Amino acid sequence: MGQFCALNIQSDYATVLFVKKNRKLFTVIDQQTIDISELSELLKNKKDYYISIEQDEVIDEKISLQSLIKNDSVIKNSILRKLNESLHSKQIIFNYLRLPNNKNDETTTYQIDGVYENEYLKSLRLINNWDMIKSSTTNKFSLFSISKQCVTEESYFSIHTYSDKITILAIHKDILIFSRLNTIIANNAETRQMNMVDEITQTIAYVQQQFRDIEFSLIALSGSIGIDDVIPEHIFMSSNLRITVLYPNTFVSGFTDEEPQHYIFALGSWFIPKKFQFLPNIIFARRQYNLFSKILLVASTIIVLSILSFTYEKFNSYSTLLENYETIKDKLVKIAHHTDTYSKEELKKSLKHIQMAEKYLQYHPSDMTYSLKALIELQKPETLHWRYLDDNLLFDATFKKSFNSLNSLYQFEKKFYKEFKNMDSNFTNKYSTQTDYTKMIFYTVVSIENNKEIQPEQTRRKRR
Amino acid sequence: MINIFAITFNLLLSVLMLALITWFEQEEIKITVINQEHQEDIKKLQKIVQINSWLKDVVQPMIKVQPSSSEEANEYLIKYFDENFIDYNLLIKKYLYEDEGVKNIDLSYKINTNDIDKLIGFVKMEYKNGFLEFKELTMDDKGLTGVFQLIQPYQEDDNASN
């Protein structure tokens, strides 16, 4: 809540409290009584209004409906229909409260409290910014709420007077069971005092008679009567009930002892539960609009932030890619700058020379000999014959070795042919064996031919 | 009303940012394609640099030392023969002949395998002015025999090549 304004709008003036909330403690930081014409100016740039409005005419009815009716909108419509019979098409704002009844009762009685919309809105229109209205009710319910905050008794009367107006409430178990608003007409102060005492004592007697099973234990006074010495004494003598004065100073600071009595309705305005508030539909609509727009704002802000984050990521990725592009471009330009260019004539000459080299250096005996490296390491060949004629290449290598035992011949053969299998396969390799096992002489001719496709990069070798 | 302005602003901002994201994505695709092309170009250029270097270091020096006429090519081949015929027992197998703009000579050789130094020298032998192509090589207990061909390219003048 933080800081807020508590207002009591009377017919021609208004009392305004500027309150600061700190946990459960309230501090009145400023208090003003002003003409109602100055109200809108005073509330300019102020937030959160809790309003109590004086209404001379209010609806205070009890209406019975079939107990079977449970649906809220049906109950509300039924009540409105019944009220309309006596309202003569006057627009109203009302709340209803289900009064306790027996389970077997066929009807349920509802306490109807309401205000006439036109008169009520006349007071509310004194405030320009309706979005800031947190709560609005009549003085009766403000008194009821502040009484509940101050008094812990089970059954008691709460009486408030200011000027000629008297508000009398009978409260039982935190339920408002009776209320009466009256105006005293008197020519002088003495008559006014006597009339006031009569009015109060008669109302108390009436209530005690109406609610015989309830034992009222206390009368809580507030307003001008709260700081009066004579009237409370008369009331006490007539009713024989304990008299007390509402003293909100325990939870509301910033007042001198008797000061709160001037602001009782304003003080009660921010303790009003929803069921006792009278807010026109337009305020609900504005609240819903504000709530919806806030939700939309939060949602759109979340969306914007999410997209912003995604955009930032994309921007980063784009920047990195752009930097990469610049680096690659610079590298390309640098390499292009350092790459020599040759004339067509020069390239033609080079190409011709390369083609010649390819043609004449395609094969060399040492390449073939090298492919037999593994076999030569096993046994030095007896003869080598290499021939290249008309693009046909033939290479023969004769391997001959004598052995003292058949096992050593066998082991050698095994190793020799294994190495032969592992030879480079770019050429066609084959062998013919004429080993003399009687004399234990190994004799094999390994032949390599170029009748297979040759990988030029692997086999070509330059010779100048 | 401020909320509505803020919501409208947020929505507009969202739309703008979405458009920006789309633009970034499209630009990223374009840049990625360009980068790939540049990378490929760089690889090609690097290859060209390597080839250039090879041309400069290997091919062009060889072209530069080529004789400028057929007669000069003959002289080169004859000079080679004279310089080596004793060491490797060279004999003329086929005397100077021309084939597709080059001069050739076929020579037979015979080297004793016991003479390791000569054998190694022969294996390492190069013909720096042209090409040396082996036609035949036989190695047995008697020695190393065979035939090779010397190929001598020469610079043809423009009239001749045309």
ipTM, two decimals, is 0.79
- A290 touches B: beta carbon within 8 Å: yes
Report the 10 Å Cβ neighbour count for A290: 12
Whether A321 maps to a domain, the answer reads no
Give the pLDDT score at A159. 95
The residue of A314, A332, A398, A445 whose CB has the most chain B CBs within 10 angstroms, and thus the best one to mutate to test that interface, is A314
Note whether A459 and A420 are within 8 A (CB). Answer: no
CB pairs under 8 A between A and B: 154
Cβ-Cβ contacts under 8 Å for A351 (sequence gap 6 or more): none
Report d(CA A87, CA A97) in Å as an integer. Answer: 20
Domain assignment present for residue A336? The answer is no
Closest to B43 measured CA to CA, from A335, A398, A251: A335
Residue A329's contacts (CB-CB under 8 Å, 6 or more residues apart) are: B38
Which of A107, A133, A159 marks a domain boundary?
A: A133
What span, in angstroms and rounded, lies between the C-alpha atoms of A29 and A137? Answer: 23
Residue A82 lies in a domain: yes
B135 CA: distance to closest CA in chain A (Å): 5
Q: Are strands A252-253 and A25-35 parallel, antiparallel or unpaired?
A: parallel
**Of A133, A161, A188, which residue sits at a domain end?**
A133
The answer to whether A345 and A352 are in contact (CB under 8 A) is: no
Residue A45, class by beta-carbon neighbours within 10 Å (0-12 exposed, 13-18 middle, 19+ buried)? exposed
- Tokens coding B5: 């302005």
Q: For the segment B149-162, what is each residue's pLDDT rounded down to a tens digit?
A: 999 998 875 444 43
Q: Which residue bears the tokens 């507030």?
A: A222
CB contact under 8 A, B138 and A366: no
- The pLDDT tens digits of the residues spanning B83-141 come to 999 989 999 999 999 887 789 999 999 998 888 888 888 888 888 888 999 999 998 88
Distance (Å) from the C-alpha of residue B28 to the closest C-alpha of chain A?
6
Give the three-state DSSP class for A138.
strand
CA A200 to each of CA A89, A197, A227: distance values in angstroms, whole numbers, following the listed order? 34, 5, 16
Contact A43, A127 (CB under 8 A): yes
Which B residues in the span 19-58 are in contact with A, Cβ-Cβ below 8 Å? 20-21, 24-25, 27-28, 31-32, 34-35, 38-39, 41-42, 45-46, 48-49, 52, 55-56
> Is residue A120 in some structural domain?
yes
pLDDT in tens, B11-23: 999 999 999 999 9
DSSP-derived secondary structure for A259-290: GGGGGHHHHHGGG--GGG----HHHHHHHHHH
Percent of chain B at pLDDT exceeding 70: 96
Pairing of strands A175-183, A165-172: antiparallel
Residue A146 lies in a domain: no
pLDDT of residue A461: 43
The answer to whether A7 and A49 are in contact (CB under 8 A) is: yes
Q: Return the pLDDT at B160.
A: 45
Contact A265, A52 (CB under 8 A): yes
Does the beta carbon of B140 lie under 8 angstroms from any beta carbon of chain A?
yes
Task: Quickly count helices (H) and strands (E) in chain B.
Answer: 5, 4
Is the minimum CB–CB distance between A363 and chain B shorter than 8 Å? yes
Residue A42 region, left (φ>0) first, then alpha (ψ -120 to 50), else beta?
Answer: alpha
CATH code at position A105:
3.30.420.380
Nearest CA in chain B to A398: B140
Contact A339 B49 (CB under 8 A): yes
Q: Which of the listed residues A133, A157, A189 is the one where a domain comes to its end?
A: A133
Is residue A216 within 8 Å of A208, Cβ to Cβ?
Answer: yes
pTM to 2 decimal places: 0.57
At a CB cut-off of 8 Å and minimum separation 6, what does A328 contact? B35, B38, B39, B42
CATH number of A425's domain: 3.30.70
Residue A256 in domain: no
Does A392 contact B at CB distance below 8 Å?
no
A156 is a domain residue: no
Which residues of chain B from 1 to 20 reach within 8 Å of chain A, CB to CB? 3-4, 6-7, 10-11, 13-14, 17-18, 20
Per-residue pLDDT of chain A (464 residues; tens, 9 = 90+): 589 999 999 888 999 999 998 887 899 999 999 998 898 888 888 889 999 999 888 888 888 888 888 888 899 888 888 888 776 667 888 888 887 776 677 888 888 888 988 888 888 888 888 888 899 999 999 999 999 999 999 999 999 998 889 999 999 998 888 899 888 888 888 888 889 999 999 999 999 998 888 999 999 999 999 888 888 999 998 888 999 999 888 889 888 878 899 999 999 999 999 888 998 888 888 888 888 999 999 999 999 999 999 999 999 999 999 999 999 999 999 999 988 888 898 888 889 888 888 888 888 888 888 888 888 888 999 999 999 877 788 899 999 999 999 999 999 999 999 988 887 667 788 889 899 999 999 999 999 887 644 444 444 444 44
Helix (H, G, I), strand (E, B) or coil at A131: helix
Q: Which residue has the higher pLDDT, A186 or B145?
A: B145
> A32: Cβ–Cβ under 8 A, 6 or more apart, which residues?
A15, A16, A42
In a domain, A412, yes or no: yes
- Domain tally, chain A: 2
Quote the domain boundaries for residue A80.
1-133
Residue A289 tokens, joined: 């609009």
